[in-house]
Amino acid sequence: MATNKIISVVIAGAGESVRFQRQPKQFVLLDGKPLLYYSLKKLALLEGLSEIIVVTSDIEATKILLQEFNFLSKLKIKVVAGGKLRQHSVFNGFSNVSKSSELVLIHDVARPLFDLSDVKKCIEKAAIFESCVLGIPVIDTIKETKFHNDELIVSKTIDRKDLYIIQTPQVFTYDLLSGAYKMYKDSEDVFTDEAQMIEKSGKEVYLVIGTRRNIKITYTEDLEIASKMLKEDCNYSGISL
């Protein structure tokens, strides 16, 4: 199971959400604790973890949070400022990763419910193949649309057979990510995840099938759903949150 690789974690937490009163997501409370708490608590259990870089839009508030929940005494954590887009924020995080790191795990703070065993599979695969993301099969009918006389019309139904909804964590070797950033960090391309940048560089991205429970907290009602799942999560993972 273990890979013996040195792992650095970058947590993207700089994004603000208009749906949460412009509060950065890492501070949004889930069962009374900030979202950042949950990701840190679980990722702290990873074998080989050497450091965690938290990217934030409010360095001071993040440091207070880390102090309050006593993370600083247990983990090596750097807090760095975010950028304009998500991809710039993650790049700022990556720029602070130690060069001795072998694998870089990138995670969105809005997903507190990832399954640690899925993440371990992702790490193992990235240790072999250089890159791996979590995803779940698309079960809905998806259609592509276009505008026609100001009306939205369907241009085609997408064959969903091979489609996956992509989640985080995503894991890459330091070298692979570093090489991709050399090519694209100043590019005008918008990447919705780092894997897309790796794909563009011509390298293969591997996929491990995750779970539907690893939802992204996007709307306020997602917090209630997450709260319910969290209770079950404690049961199966054995992590005392």
Interface residues with a second copy (CB under 8 A)? 125, 129, 133, 135, 138-146, 148, 151-158, 160, 162-166, 192-193, 195-196, 199, 204-209, 212, 216, 218-219, 221, 224-225, 228-229
Minimum CB distance to a second copy smaller for 81 or for 229? 229
Minimum CB distance to a second copy smaller for 118 or for 199? 199
Maximum separation of any 2 CA atoms in the chain, in Å: 61
Minimum CB distance to a second copy smaller for 76 or for 228? 228
The three-state secondary structure class of 116 is helix
The token pair at 195 is 């894997």
Question: Cβ distance 203 to 135 under 8 Å?
Answer: no
Minimum CB distance to a second copy smaller for 151 or for 186? 151
**C-alpha R_g of the chain:** 18
Smallest distance, a second copy to C-beta of residue 27, A = 21
The DSSP letter of residue 194 is H
Smallest distance, a second copy to C-beta of residue 190, A = 10
Smallest distance, a second copy to C-beta of residue 89, A = 16
Distance CA 24, CA 47 (A): 29
Burial of 225 (0-12, 13-18, 19+ CB in 10 A): middle
* Residue 119: closest CA among 176, 44, 199: 44
Minimum CB distance to a second copy smaller for 59 or for 138? 138
* Residue 112: closest CA among 31, 171, 19, 46: 31
Dihedral sign computed on CA atoms, order 107, 112, 114, 117: positive
Reported in sequence order, the residue ranges of 25-111 that DSSP labels E, i.e. its strands, are 29-30, 33-34, 49-56, 77-81, 103-108
Smallest distance, a second copy to C-beta of residue 125, A = 8
Smallest distance, a second copy to C-beta of residue 177, A = 15
Smallest distance, a second copy to C-beta of residue 219, A = 7
Minimum CB distance to a second copy smaller for 26 or for 131? 131
